[in-house]
């Protein structure tokens, strides 16, 4: 999608620090990390938010949760200590980039409830 920062990152038109990539997703370091480890998993396909998931995206959603999140947590060495997986959605959810992305945050103890 034109003028979407995460499409540009997925297409390598904008620089990012890539930690993982396959045919469905790219995972990068967050530019403004909220924890010692803060990675964003970004589908290569433009999906605005979790509200726009279609039936055809089930493989992608499962791939992210079943394969990519645990692999990155292992690679970052936060699988054992624990981490948080977040998908901010819409205005009340605090979503600022309107291309679906999954945050992985770790390396410190998280508080609950979130702000």
For the annotated catalytic residues, the residue numbers are 101
- Does residue 31 interact with ligand AMP by CB under 6 A? yes
Buried b (16+ CB within 10 A) or exposed e, 83-107: bbebebeeeeeebeebbbbbbbbbe
DSSP state of 63: I
- Is the peptide bond preceding residue 94 cis, with omega within 30 degrees of 0? no
- Does residue 5 interact with ligand AMP by CB under 6 A? yes
Q: Based on CB atoms, which residue is closest to ligand AMP, 36 or 94?
A: 94
- Does residue 88 interact with ligand AMP by CB under 6 A? yes
- Does residue 51 interact with ligand AMP by CB under 6 A? no
How crowded is residue 56: how many other Cβ atoms within 10 Å of its Cβ? Answer: 8
Residue 99 binds which entry of ligand AMP, Zn ion, none, CB below 5-8 Å type-dependent: Zn ion
- Does residue 95 interact with ligand AMP by CB under 6 A? yes
How far is 75 from 89, CA to CA, in rounded Å? Answer: 26
How far is 60 from 24, CA to CA, in rounded Å? Answer: 7
- Does residue 23 interact with ligand AMP by CB under 6 A? no
Stretch of residues binding ligand AMP (CB under 6 A), selected from 30-38, 46-54, 59-67, 106-114: 30-38
Q: Based on CB atoms, which residue is closest to ligand AMP, 55 or 76?
A: 76
């Amino acid at each position: 999608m034109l003028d979407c920062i995460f499409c540009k990152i997925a297409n390598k038109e904008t620089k990012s620090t890539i930690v993982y990539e396959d045919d469905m997703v790219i995972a990068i370091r967050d530019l403004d990390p909220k924890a010692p480890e803060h990675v964003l998993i970004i589908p290569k396909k433009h999906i605005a938010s979790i509200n726009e998931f279609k039936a055809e995206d089930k493989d992608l959603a499962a791939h992210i949760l079943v394969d990519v999140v645990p692999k990155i947590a292992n690679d970052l060495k936060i699988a054992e200590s624990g981490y948080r997986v977040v998908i901010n959605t819409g205005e009340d959810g605090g979503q600022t980039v309107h291309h679906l992305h999954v945050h992985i945050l770790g390396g410190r103890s998280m508080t609950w409830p979130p702000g």
